[in-house]
């Protein structure tokens, strides 16, 4: 396995220009969509089969009695423990040698299980092809020595691309810097490989709690439920089986047999 690649999105540098969103659409040749009015500059409300990068905008009441304007360029997290990848019954979703998560469009059979298994609502279903789609980490570019199109286009270096270990060190430095500057709630999301989902290969620097950005505080790998749920089902099966044995051992009401 090659060295793991990562994207680091620093929201403190994001200016909400959405160049990343446009660059992503261009490079990946994603078709145009009807604009969607969300009440903010955000368009669309969710990731779609034609929008793999999505700049989200949030307003949050602050101590000064006004609003703080947050913006964050969101993307597939390429989780080290990926719900979509584990859910996929066809093996279409696989992990590349760089640690990123990809969907093989020829193998995907359109069951949509991955769509509901993603803890971040990233995977989207394409009605035209009948397959699931999401950010590929610009698989074609990274295999040819280029970074993802979004990172290349970002004018403020809010999105950075590189080796995961190096980026994580840089990210930690940036958090310390921001804290010194007075952003006391600055924190990393997903950079810790011992954290939830084994760490995210697209991780973030946030200026407040993850919930401000609509992110789950502690995302959970849905497949962790399989063992317990199965055991409870087996318990239910044993009880039902014994019930059937007893019911058919006992004579029926009028007992004409």
Partner 1 sequence: MEPGLLKSSDWPFLIDLYFFLGGLAGGAFVIATIANLLDGRRYRDVVRVGYYLAFLAIIPGPILLSIDLGLPTRFLHMLMVSKPSVDIGMSAITLGPFHLKLFSPMSAGAWALLGFGVLAFLAALDVFLEDRGGRSIANLRVAAGVIGGFFAFFIAAYPGVLLGATARPLFISAHWLGALFLAVGASTGGAAIALVLSLLGGRTRESLSQLMRFTAFALIIQLATLVLFIVWVSSAGSVGVSHALASLLSGPYGVVFWLGAVIVGLVAPLALQFGGVIKKAAPAMVALVSVLVLVGGFIVKYVIIAAGQVVAS
| Residues at the interface with partner 1 (CB under 8 A) | 45-47, 83, 85-96, 104, 107-113, 115-121, 123-125, 130, 211, 214-216, 220, 222-223, 225-226, 228-230, 232-233, 235-237, 239-241, 243-257
Q: Are 36 and 43 spatial neighbours (Cβ–Cβ below 8 Å)?
A: yes
Q: Could you tell me which residues are beta bridge partners of residue 189?
A: 204
The residue assigned the tokens 């946030």 is 206
Q: Tell how far CA 146 is from the center of its chain.
A: 22
Q: What is the nearest approach in angstroms of partner 1 to the Cβ of residue 198? A: 11
Element (H, E) at 8: strand 5-10
Phi-psi region of 43 (alpha: psi -120 to 50; beta: other; left: phi over 0): beta
Closer residue to partner 1, CB minimum distance, 62 or 211? 211
Closer residue to partner 1, CB minimum distance, 181 or 237? 237
Q: Are 78 and 202 spatial neighbours (Cβ–Cβ below 8 Å)?
A: yes
Q: Among 28, 115, 68, 77, which residue's Cα sits nearest to residue 212?
A: 68
Closer residue to partner 1, CB minimum distance, 14 or 87? 87
DSSP letter for each residue of 41-65? S---SS-BTTBS-EEEEEEEE-TTS
Q: Are 9 and 75 spatial neighbours (Cβ–Cβ below 8 Å)?
A: yes
Q: Are 204 and 11 spatial neighbours (Cβ–Cβ below 8 Å)?
A: yes
Q: What is the nearest approach in angstroms of partner 1 to the Cβ of residue 28? A: 19
Closer residue to partner 1, CB minimum distance, 130 or 155? 130
Closer residue to partner 1, CB minimum distance, 169 or 230? 230
Closer residue to partner 1, CB minimum distance, 55 or 92? 92
Q: What is the nearest approach in angstroms of partner 1 to the Cβ of residue 45? A: 8
Q: What is the nearest approach in angstroms of partner 1 to the Cβ of residue 131? A: 10
Q: What is the nearest approach in angstroms of partner 1 to the Cβ of residue 64? A: 26
Q: What is the nearest approach in angstroms of partner 1 to the Cβ of residue 176? A: 28
């Amino acid at each position: 396995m090659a060295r793991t690649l990562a994207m680091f999105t620093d929201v403190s540098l994001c200016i909400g220009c959405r160049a990343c969103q446009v660059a992503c659409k261009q490079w990946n040749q994603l078709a145009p969509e009807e604009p969607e009015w969300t009440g903010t500059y955000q368009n669309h409300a969710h990731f779609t089969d034609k929008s793999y990068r999505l700049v989200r905008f949030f307003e949050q009441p602050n101590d000064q009695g006004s609003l703080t304007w947050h913006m964050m360029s969101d993307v597939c997290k390429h989780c080290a423990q990926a719900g979509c990848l584990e859910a996929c019954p066809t093996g279409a979703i696989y992990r590349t040698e760089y640690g990123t998560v990809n969907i093989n469009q020829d193998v995907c059979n359109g069951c949509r299980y991955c769509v509901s298994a993603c803890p971040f609502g990233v995977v989207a279903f394409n009605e035209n092809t009948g397959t699931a789609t999401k950010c590929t980490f610009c698989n074609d570019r990274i295999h040819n020595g280029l970074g993802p199109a979004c990172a290349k286009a970002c004018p403020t270096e809010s999105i950075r691309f590189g080796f995961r270990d190096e980026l994580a060190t840089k990210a930690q430095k940036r958090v310390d810097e921001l804290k010194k500057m007075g952003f006391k709630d600055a924190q990393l999301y997903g950079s810790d490989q011992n954290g939830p989902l084994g760490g995210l290969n697209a991780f973030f620097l946030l200026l407040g709690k993850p919930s401000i950005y609509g992110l789950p505080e502690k995302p959970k790998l849905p497949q962790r439920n399989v063992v317990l749920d199965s055991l409870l089902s087996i318990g239910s099966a044993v009880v039902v089986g014994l019930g059937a044995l007893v019911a058919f051992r006992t004579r029926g009401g009028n007992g004409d047999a």
